[in-house]
Amino acid sequence: MKKTVRIGRVTVEGYASLAPMAGYGDAAFRSVCREMGAALTVSEMVSAKGLVYGGSVSKTRELMLPFENEGPYAVQLFGSEPEIMAEGARIAFETAKPDLIDINMGCPVPKVASNGEGSALMREPLKIGKIVRAVKDAVPCPVTVKMRLGWDRDSINAPECAKIAEASGAAFLTVHGRTRDAFYTGKSDPSEIAKVVRAVAIPVAANGDVVTGADARRLYEETGAALVAVGRGALGNPFLFREIEAVMENREFTSPAIHDKIAVLKRQVLRALDRKGEYTALREARPHAMFAVKGLRGASRLKEEAAGLETLEDLDRFIEKIGSLYP
């Protein structure tokens, strides 16, 4: 029997969620991760202001739409004004009918943090409480939060922020084990995530540096988290969710061959093509294809070809090239 985690009234079954990833975590990618065992999927981050002021046909709204039968599924919002976040949450719920609304308190990129959004919220713990409460009051589904450890190593305050989020109505937390100033460099710190787990009664997902099933098991053991959240480790390798499940259930796992990874990639691209058209789908597939061939003999040349994908025919030729190199 798979691990079960309750997030409010939502039941999540499995061992690893797919963390939100701007520019990567579209519906097509989420769909293949779900098929591979992702217990929970989360949209790319969506601007609350974009929803409130962007109009009904804006690209912002398109980011929220789930794939068919996606669930449990969360729409992640970012912003810094409680009233705007609440209205954005209402629009998100009405538009996408997600199981959860997630609040971004972890994005480190300057264009977000410089506006007081994303990870910058961890510098204003009291505002965190106001935002969580406003969003919770605005939607009928559970509200969750994604955070980092703090702004920098001298101001780690994730346990404090977690307590405030919980007291304000958050039903679940995901904690990335780095501070904002670390971005994605260095190593995630499980010991600091463990402090958050001990500080709150709601379930916590541990996030950071999970690229193998063994990494996931170690993160579980070192943090006591209810789930692990997988981000970049799944890029080019959605099979990671199957590997994590096998390791957690003490079963053998056979690593997928490159042909298996590329077959899943094509399925992902075809789904994206149905929604976005060939031009956008193939360009967005480029980094996924590069991740898929990472570490292979001749990977540099293959990455160059992946960077030039423009049509479905290009993808088929790319797949044929891989077949000739790895018969």
Known catalytic residues are 107
Among 221, 213, 151, residue whose Cα is nearest residue 182 = 151
Cβ atoms of residues 4 and 11 within 8 Å: yes
The CA distances from residue 24 to 4, 17, 226, 233, 314, in Å, are 27, 15, 25, 12, 20
Q: 208-227 b/e with 16+ CB inside 10 Å = b?
A: bbbbbbebbbbbbeebebbb
User: Which residues, in sequence order, are bridge partners of residue 76?
Assistant: 102
Termini Cα distance of the chain: 37
Residue with tokens 């044929």: 320
